[in-house]
């Protein structure tokens, strides 16, 4: 059997090359995100910002991200996953470089805000696109793989957090740090997307030249159509709660460690490293656990650990306990987002699966990106550690909605055969 050239022929769905390509895209996404998160204190200092002003910048990131989530299905249908993912990876790399220039070189708050809007758009579009490609690989493999794919995202965040801590310790300028990280993501991403699964790569044929494009209201109807599925809305609420808990750690755990517990900047970055390391471990172990015990008991157990870790992080005065608590927080939040995305993507039509993933992602990223900036504003009044009690309440909501959100899933986690036939509610 003659080997196909990766330069010209994409890997078949379910192949090792296609699976590993998706793993690589998840890792690159996590790396560039952690690069930004780990240097938030440096960006704050370069721009001379207060905690509430950092929250305003994060609102800019959130607004661009929500637009990217809504637009990702259109990119997928027009370009196919390979070209759309290539554009998103190149755009994310360029956005990181531009962010470093705006914050670290020009030191302009309005320019940094504008770049964050664009960076959020391409990054969130990348998120939807890679989850749809991952769901295709998972369906073909007939076993739970999305938690492992999200573990590669977390592995990328570990690398980004460690390098960010080293850059902070060495006093590396934000501009150079972000430029090098952006070039790395763009270069490796351009090589990686060539190996994406073939079935996830085909674009939908464009309308004939001269025909009118879809009207805005038609686009909105197509985007929001999956919301008629009540279970999908409940999945969205679950994902939103878990994403808020994860996003709060991503945006504030370093500053909470520095300002609330008195850590040095480099040590605060390592607290974030403990969080993402535990999250990675939970996602690596999550697939077999979910397939063996089912989604509901595993998720409830993990959320309980996360709730305990978060409370411990808030109240402790001991540095090593803060590291352990951050790890429990990360472990507890490791599976909610990938399990929700996996359940949302269970539809045989890739285009409708993309709209379902987009719909749940809008729930999740609205909480992931809009909620944490609100914590920053409240942190100015109460202190960041006290503001984290809001995250405690949100995790309690996640525990409450989990039984209804995943009701009807099979006891083995619902993977085997779950993606091969649509439910009546899931039809386009």
Across 402-420, average pLDDT: 53
More confident residue, 291 or 330: 330
pLDDT at 4: 41
**Cα-based torsion angle of the residue sequence 16, 18, 20, 21 in order, rounded to the nearest 10 degrees:** 160
Kindly indicate the confidence band of residue 292, based on its pLDDT and cuts at 50, 70 and 90: confident
Domain ranges of the chain: 16-202+223-426
Residue 96 has which token pair? Answer: 């990181």
pLDDT at 119: 94
Q: In angstroms, rounded to a whole number, what is the distance separating the alpha carbons of residues 260 and 308?
A: 19
pLDDT at 101: 93
Q: How far is CA 254 from CA 34, 167, 385, in A?
A: 11, 15, 11
Q: In angstroms, rounded to a whole number, what is the distance separating the alpha carbons of residues 189 and 191?
A: 5
Within a 10 A sphere around the Cβ of 143, how many other Cβ atoms? 16
More confident residue, 143 or 420: 143
Which string of DSSP letters, residue by residue, matches 346-399?
Answer: --S-HHHHHHHHHHHHHHHHIIIIIHHHHHHHHHHHH-HHHHTHHHHHHHHHHH
pLDDT at 401: 85
Residue with tokens 């729930």: 363
Each residue of 181-240: pLDDT tens digit? Answer: 999 999 999 998 888 765 555 554 444 444 444 554 455 555 555 556 777 888 888 888
The burial class, CB within 10 Å (0-12 / 13-18 / 19+), for 316 is: middle
pLDDT at 218: 55
CB 97 within 8 A of CB 179: yes
Contacts for 164-172: CB closer than 8 Å, 24+ residues apart: 164/34, 164/35, 164/37, 164/38, 164/39, 164/269, 165/38, 165/266, 165/269, 165/270, 165/273, 167/38, 167/39, 168/38, 168/39, 168/41, 168/42, 168/265, 168/266, 168/269, 169/265, 169/266
Beta bridge pairs of residue 11: 197
pLDDT at residue 88 greater than cutoff 90:
yes
pLDDT at 425: 32
pLDDT at 198: 57
CA atoms within 13 A on the CB side of 9: 8
Q: For 198-229, b where at least 16 C-beta lie within 10 A, e where not — what string? A: bbbbeeeeeeeeeeeeeeeeeeeebbeebeeb
Residue 326 has which token pair? Answer: 């951050």
pLDDT at residue 106 greater than cutoff 70:
yes
Least confident of 35-39, 52-56, 108-112, 225-229: 225-229
pLDDT at 411: 39
The CATH code that applies to domain 16-202+223-426 is 1.20.1250.20
More confident residue, 79 or 96: 96
Residue with tokens 């755009």: 91
CB 193 within 8 A of CB 85: yes
Q: In angstroms, rounded to a whole number, what is the distance separating the alpha carbons of residues 359 and 225?
A: 9
Inter-helix orientation angle 230-255/350-365, to 10°: 50
pLDDT at residue 27 greater than cutoff 80:
yes
């Amino acid at each position: 059997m003659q080997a196909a050239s990766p330069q010209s022929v994409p890997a078949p769905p379910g192949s090792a090359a296609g699976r590993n390509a998706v793993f690589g895209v998840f890792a690159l996404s996590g790396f560039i995100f952690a690069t930004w998160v780990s240097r938030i204190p440096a960006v704050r200092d370069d721009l001379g910002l207060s905690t509430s002003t950092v929250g305003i910048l994060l609102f800019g990131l959130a607004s661009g991200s929500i637009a990217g989530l809504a637009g990702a299905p259109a990119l997928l249908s027009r370009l196919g996953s390979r070209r759309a993912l290539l554009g998103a990876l190149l755009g994310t790399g360029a956005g990181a470089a531009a962010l470093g220039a705006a914050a670290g070189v020009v030191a302009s708050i309005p320019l940094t805000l504008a770049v964050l809007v664009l960076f959020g758009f391409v990054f969130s579009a990348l998120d939807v696109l890679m989850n749809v490609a991952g769901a295709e690989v998972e369906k073909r493999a007939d076993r739970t793989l999305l938690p492992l794919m999200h573990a590669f995202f977390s592995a990328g965040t570990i690398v980004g957090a460690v390098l960010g801590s080293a850059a902070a310790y060495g006093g590396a300028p934000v501009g150079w740090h972000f430029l090098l990280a952006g070039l790395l993501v763009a270069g490796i991403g351009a090589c990686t997307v060539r190996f994406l699964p073939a079935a996830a790569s085909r674009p939908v044929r464009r309308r004939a030249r001269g025909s009118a494009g879809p009207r805005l209201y038609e686009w909105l109807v197509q985007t929001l159509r999956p919301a008629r599925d009540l279970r999908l809305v409940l999945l969205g609420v679950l994902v939103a709660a878990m994403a808020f808990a994860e996003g709060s750690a991503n945006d504030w755990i370093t500053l909470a460690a520095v300002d609330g517990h008195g850590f040095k900047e480099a040590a605060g970055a390592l607290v974030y490293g403990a969080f993402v390391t535990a999250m990675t471990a939970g996602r690596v172990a999550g697939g077999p656990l979910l397939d063996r015990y089912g989604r509901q008991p595993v998720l409830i157990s993990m959320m309980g650990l996360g709730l305990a870790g978060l409370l411990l992080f808030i109240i402790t005065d001991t540095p090593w306990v803060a590291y352990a608590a951050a790890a429990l927080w990360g472990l507890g939040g490791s599976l909610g987002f990938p399990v929700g995305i996996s359940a949302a993507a269970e539809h045989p039509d890739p285009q409708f699966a993309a709209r379902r993933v987009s719909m749940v992602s809008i729930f999740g990223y609205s909480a992931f990106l809009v909620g944490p900036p609100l914590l920053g504003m409240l942190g100015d009044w109460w202190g960041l550690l006290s503001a984290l009690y809001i995250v405690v309440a949100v995790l309690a909501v996640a525990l409450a909605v989990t039984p209804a959100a995943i009701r009807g899933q099979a006891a083995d986690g619902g993977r085997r055969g779950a993606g091969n036939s649509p439910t009546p509610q899931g039809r386009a």
